[in-house]
Structure 1
Amino acid sequence: MTAETAAGRRRLALAVLAAASLALSACAQVPTSSPVGTSPPLAGAEQEQDVPLYVPAGPVRDAEAPEIIRGFLAAGVGAQDDYAIARQYLTGDASADWDPHRRTVVYSSQPTVTRVDEDGTYLVQVEIDSIVDQNGIRTAVPSGTTEAWELTVTDVDGQRRISAAEDGTMLSGSQFAAIYAPHELYFFDPTFTYAVPDVRWFINRGTTAAAMTRALLAGPAEPLGGAVVSAFPAGSGSQLSRPTVPVTDGVASVDLAASTVDGMDSDRRERLRQQIEMTLEGLSTVESVEVTVDLDPLAVEGEADHLEPVEVNPSKGTVQVGVDPTNRTLAFFQGLSVTPVGGLRNVSALDPVEPAMNRARTDFVFLTSDRTQMYRADTEGTLKQIVSGISLTRPTVDGLDWAWTVDSGSSSRIRAVPLGDQEDGTAREVSTPWLTSDETIRALQVGPTGARAALLVESEGTVSLRVAGVVRGEDGVPSSLTDPQTLETTVPMRDVFWIDDVTLAVTDYADDAEDKIEPQVISLDGTRRTLNPLAGLTGFSAGDSQSFYAETENGVYLLLGSSWRSQELTRPVRDLAFPG
């Protein structure tokens, strides 16, 4: 069924419901809990250890249609044996047609079941939170979004059974959290420098490894499409030779169809192996991966040792860069020590603010205090203006050593400049074709792998957090940002920071010393947590392992547990930033 057809059916069903509002009807709420137990293992499939599974009840004899529908929806939590219990509520033909894996709807309010007509048609209506597709891609929906599913009930040997049902399952938020878990698939940045994680959601059961592998073969989720590359060619029909990925004694066995690797050279086959290994070794049950093609070992002619290994989860380290206000120079901050950055030209006349640096701590950028110029400085003594504009945003340096800022005074033009010996050092404009004329980019930071950009976009006084993919050539030169996804936040925002490649922090800044600011941490898996407030917060930085620093007019603070603790520094420092 196409999305258009399904949508049409749902609109028709709603119209029929409205017309029949005075007719015979039956309404009831669907239960959101089921007994919890442990199902028997699936024969021949790999097993996740000690994972509790919901074990719903089967149909009750002589149950009426609404009860059958409620039981069917409640049985959607029982994924074992390919939803065998849920299928007991269906007729034989409906069971053969029903695809529970197509999508999972996560609802935020109790579903209701309403009879539409005398022909056994019923409508399930529900307010939803998100939808997970068959490849584990979870899409959050705006608050207040509703969905309606049409089902038909008929008599089979004197018992009510469902003869037509929408593909997919419905789960409450608590049920979803209990049986699903986020996992990371891995793709490559176009230069094959970094492994880029792509967060997906899969049911915790014996088929998780197979589901992850199939999703990996299907390609990246938006907004990473166009921003990352896969060893599996897009649209190639890449597939497994067998539907399962068994895990035996910690070894996951992935058997690919021959058509998947036909025409691949040795380098690409080795990248394919790396991609599968990085993805599946994230499972607690997998220690190593064996890749075969139609049960024969994956052939890699010669040695692929010449391939540079890609970096997974690049670290920011513990050193930050900041500005020493006593002499207006750039300084390193680590522990409680503030030390000058050696090898730099004197920048005090430029009155630097908002510095940023690369991971090697050799190249730096900063703004002048009026935010009209961005300068580059390095430990070889280079000092050069590289961008000029109006209301430039806080600079960011990505993992491929490109420095970024946004010229907020000229239709939010994004400017990116290569550092070091790359290219010619000329600023390039990175296009955002999705940005409308009434939207302004207020903050930008590019993620550690350079594959994602986080942006705060203001429109009509409202600021939203968006994450886009960074489109680059094989040489790493950025050209555009993909259509972004919007992440829900619940705090005022003036700046955004990457903690790692799948986690962000946003914060407002205080207008006075009494203004209490609550930064918030947002993960690409959809989870959020709000940090304790700090009065007078004027600066913020986020490092590895969610180490958070904040600044006020009184100095620097470190978040310890849930409390902000003042740091006794060797000398003052401001505008702190980890690499990135």
Structure 2
Amino acid sequence: MNRRNRGSLVLMSMLLCLAAIAGCASIPTGGPVSKSEVSTTGEVQQNTNFKPVPPSAGADQTAIINGFINAATGFSDNFQVARKYLTAAAANAWKNDQRTVVYRGQPNISRNGTENDYKVELDVDSVLDADGIRTPAESGPSGTIQFGLMKVDGEWRINSLPDGVILAKAYFQTIFNAYSLYFYDPTFTYTVPDVRWFPGGSNSVATMIVRNLVNGPAPYLKGAVASAFPDGIRLARDTVPISSSTATVDLSAGPLQAASLQARQQMQAQLSETLSRGLNTVTNVVMRADQVPVDVGDTGQSQASQIHAPQTPSRQIGVSQNELVYLENGAISAIPGMPSVARLQPAVPAQSYSSFAKDGPVAFLNGDRTSLYTIAPGKAESVAMTGVPLTPPSFSPSNWVWSAAADGSGRVFASNAAQNNGATVQTVTLTMEWLKGRTVSSLRVSRDGTRIMVVSSAAGQSQVHLTGILRQDNSLASPPRDLTVPIGMFLDTVTFTLGYWGDETKMIVMAPGTGDVVATKLSLSADPKPLPALTGMQRLSVGNVTSDVSDIYAQTSSGSVFVQSNTGWQERPDLKGISDLAFAG
């Protein structure tokens, strides 16, 4: 069996596991809830209104299950009250930290044949594994969870339940918070976020963050990102204390002392980036081996060399009068030295990050979107791929331009646009088993060059996948050799065909339409959020999307261009003659 077939089986197993989890976990629900906004940084504030109640005398089976459900918010005390609803054997065997299943709506509790067997049905929103990796679930039929009960000294208690905890979504939003663990791209140029979800106060969260950071990235990032921490290194003490804004990290002495000074500096930078951005109580990190601080030299240069959350420049590329043009500072201009491509009817162009240099390449599809060309000022166009419907091109920082076949074949293409010579360019074809049978409509490379967002559909269901890029070596210009088994992102009752990166964790998806079109902001660290509706929206150009800035341009079916503002969408009549706008990437 080849590796890609194995990858397909792994993905299938992940999806089956997600369905199985919905049918075999304990469910907390009900009780008082203090709603709070989910933040991407800063420590979570533990909800003081959770007051689990122990079982009352004479409670029947339904009341015991309800009581257990209501008491299963007890992350702060290791579920001591919840365990009182279990038999002694079940309480000792139950592993609450194996997963957390988040559900929507109200669970339905009913007898499952006998007075000792009950089932709980629910609508699963998402699943967190033991490492805090959250996988959104597809909307659909409810999951079923089985409980077994028995009498102990005349009182009903739960004696059979699977490992894990299930929370109502309102509880989850209050108890859990998203944190980015930072790894590196293979060249150690960019930091790459790996978003995890953890409960608890600052010290316990710091421990969970560091433990998982040292253990390595999420499965969909393995091989696509690098870590400064060598295999085998672990936390020497299962705690990361914070005092006077300094987090002390005790690591296994052997691997830490054997590491080079540069490696220790990179470890220090990785810890600092992760903890200081995730916890507002941390501004400094001390690494220790055998409780003795290790020498990391001057970390200033090492930390300054990494690029965090790379921003895209403000200039956009577009098409005007059948030629490629730039839009910069509100003015449309021809691209200096660019040959005419009007005969090819250019569409959906992309500009490389190096196009801001004099001879940087750009790319575009032809009019019927079956051929992809790369071109640079002073050079003729090169054919990168042809003969199949293609998704709009997307550049990585290393000048590889990506596209996918929109024919259900699972083929993904990457061409080295830096080798443009007016003929053909080096093109790598990857066939992904997990994309076979799906119609790919959008493929976009992240700005750190390590991840790809794929928008596809099958049987009327749209879906976003995130996958990592595996290279042949660790050089900046290395050709890709494969994509990782992806992680899925889902939206309820929303059809979408186009996707765009907004920053390191934010994406925007949409589907063109003639009526009111609503684009949706996705995030690895928050719930989906709709943007204001715009009539006839056809495509977007997305720059930097942060809490303070939102560079989003929209093109409508009438040819008008709108810019998102705090009050909605503002038309730009001066941009009426330009179409298919795109920021770099």
Match of 1:217 in 2: 214
Shift in Å, 1:305: 4.8
Shift in Å, 1:30: 7.2
Asked whether the 8 Å contact 1:30–1:113 carries over to 2, the reply is: no
Match of 2:403 in 1: 405
Tell me the distance in 2 between the aligned counterparts of 1:498 and 1:363: 20
Shift in Å, 1:116: 6.0
Secondary structure at 2:432's aligned position in 1? coil
Secondary structure at 2:163's aligned position in 1? coil
Shift in Å, 1:306: 7.0
Asked whether the 8 Å contact 2:517–2:535 carries over to 1, the reply is: yes
Change (3 A) 1:331 1:214: same
Match of 2:194 in 1: 198
Secondary structure at 1:273's aligned position in 2? helix
Asked whether the 8 Å contact 1:34–1:74 carries over to 2, the reply is: no
Shift in Å, 1:409: 5.7
Q: Trace 1:286-305 onto structure 2 (pairs within 5 A).
A: 286-300=282-296, 305=301
Asked whether the 8 Å contact 2:382–2:420 carries over to 1, the reply is: no
Shift in Å, 1:260: 5.0
Secondary structure at 2:269's aligned position in 1? helix
Asked whether the 8 Å contact 1:414–1:430 carries over to 2, the reply is: yes
Shift in Å, 1:220: 1.8
Match of 1:339 among 333, 339, 358: 333
Secondary structure at 1:53's aligned position in 2? coil
Match of 1:491 among 486, 490, 494: 494
Tell me the distance in 1 between the aligned counterparts of 2:391 and 2:43: 46
Tell me the distance in 1 between the aligned counterparts of 2:519 and 2:111: 47
Secondary structure at 1:286's aligned position in 2? coil
Counterpart amino acid of 1:184?
A: S
Match of 2:276 among 275, 281, 296: 281
Secondary structure at 2:540's aligned position in 1? strand
Shift in Å, 1:351: 3.1
Q: Trace 1:414-433 onto structure 2 (pairs within 5 A).
A: 414-420=412-418, 425-433=425-433
Comparing 79-88 and 126-135, the one that deviates more: 79-88
Shift in Å, 1:35: 6.7
Match of 1:502 in 2: 505
Match of 1:391 among 384, 389, 392: 389
Q: Trace 1:8-19 onto structure 2 (pairs within 5 A).
A: none
Match of 1:372 in 2: 370
Match of 1:577 among 559, 568, 582: 582
Shift in Å, 1:299: 3.9
Q: Trace 1:80-95 onto structure 2 (pairs within 5 A).
A: 80-90=76-86, 94-95=90-91
Tell me the distance in 1 between the aligned counterparts of 2:251 and 2:463: 42
Secondary structure at 1:245's aligned position in 2? coil
Counterpart amino acid of 1:494?
A: T
TM-score (norm. length: structure 2)? 0.83
Asked whether the 8 Å contact 1:255–1:291 carries over to 2, the reply is: yes
Secondary structure at 1:101's aligned position in 2? helix
Secondary structure at 1:403's aligned position in 2? strand
Secondary structure at 2:418's aligned position in 1? coil
Comparing 279-288 and 531-540, the one that deviates more: 531-540
Match of 1:135 in 2: 131
Change (3 A) 1:119 1:399: same
Tell me the distance in 2 between the aligned counterparts of 1:203 and 1:340: 53
1:57 corresponds to 2:52 = yes
Asked whether the 8 Å contact 1:54–1:78 carries over to 2, the reply is: no
Shift in Å, 1:486: 2.8
1:442 corresponds to 2:437 = no
Tell me the distance in 1 between the aligned counterparts of 2:159 and 2:460: 50
Tell me the distance in 2 between the aligned counterparts of 1:296 and 1:123: 53
Match of 1:356 in 2: 350
Shift in Å, 1:137: 1.0
1:544 corresponds to 2:549 = no
Asked whether the 8 Å contact 2:470–2:480 carries over to 1, the reply is: yes
Tell me the distance in 1 between the aligned counterparts of 2:299 and 2:182: 23
Shift in Å, 1:471: 1.5
Shift in Å, 1:243: 1.6
Tell me the distance in 2 between the aligned counterparts of 1:200 and 1:208: 11
Comparing 135-144 and 168-177, the one that deviates more: 135-144
Change (3 A) 1:535 1:522: same
Change (3 A) 1:33 1:329: same
Asked whether the 8 Å contact 1:108–1:172 carries over to 2, the reply is: yes
Match of 2:174 in 1: 178
RMSD across aligned positions (CA) = 3.4
Shift in Å, 1:197: 0.8
Asked whether the 8 Å contact 1:127–1:147 carries over to 2, the reply is: no
Shift in Å, 1:248: 1.7
Tell me the distance in 1 between the aligned counterparts of 2:445 and 2:83: 47
Tell me the distance in 1 between the aligned counterparts of 2:318 and 2:466: 26
Tell me the distance in 2 between the aligned counterparts of 1:154 and 1:528: 45
Shift in Å, 1:136: 0.7
Tell me the distance in 2 between the aligned counterparts of 1:109 and 1:58: 22
Change (3 A) 1:269 1:62: same
Larger Rg: 1
1:319 corresponds to 2:322 = no
Shift in Å, 1:315: 0.4
**Count of aligned positions:** 541
Asked whether the 8 Å contact 2:516–2:537 carries over to 1, the reply is: yes
Change (3 A) 1:192 1:118: same
Match of 2:9 in 1: none
Match of 1:105 in 2: 101
Percent identity reads 28
Secondary structure at 1:538's aligned position in 2? strand
Comparing 185-194 and 168-177, the one that deviates more: 185-194
Q: Trace 1:232-251 onto structure 2 (pairs within 5 A).
A: 232-233=229-230, 236=232, 238-251=233-246
- Per-residue CA deviations over 1:276-325 (Å, capped at 9, x if unaligned) read 22211122222222222231223448989579822111101222111222
- Per-residue CA deviations over 1:167-210 (Å, capped at 9, x if unaligned) read 32221111111111111111222222221111111114231111
Match of 2:10 in 1: none
Tell me the distance in 1 between the aligned counterparts of 2:344 and 2:121: 61
Counterpart amino acid of 1:496?
A: G
Asked whether the 8 Å contact 1:121–1:152 carries over to 2, the reply is: yes
Secondary structure at 1:429's aligned position in 2? strand
Change (3 A) 1:425 1:393: same
Match of 2:70 among 50, 67, 74: 74
Between the two structures, name the one with larger relative contact order (CA 8 Å, sep ≥ 6): 2
Match of 1:144 in 2: 141
Asked whether the 8 Å contact 2:124–2:143 carries over to 1, the reply is: yes
Change (3 A) 1:451 1:303: closer
Asked whether the 8 Å contact 1:128–1:147 carries over to 2, the reply is: no
Shift in Å, 1:261: 3.1
Q: Which has the higher helix share?
A: 2
Shift in Å, 1:559: 1.5
Shift in Å, 1:229: 2.3
Match of 2:226 in 1: 229
Counterpart amino acid of 2:500?
A: F
Tell me the distance in 2 between the aligned counterparts of 1:229 and 1:288: 23
Secondary structure at 2:211's aligned position in 1? helix
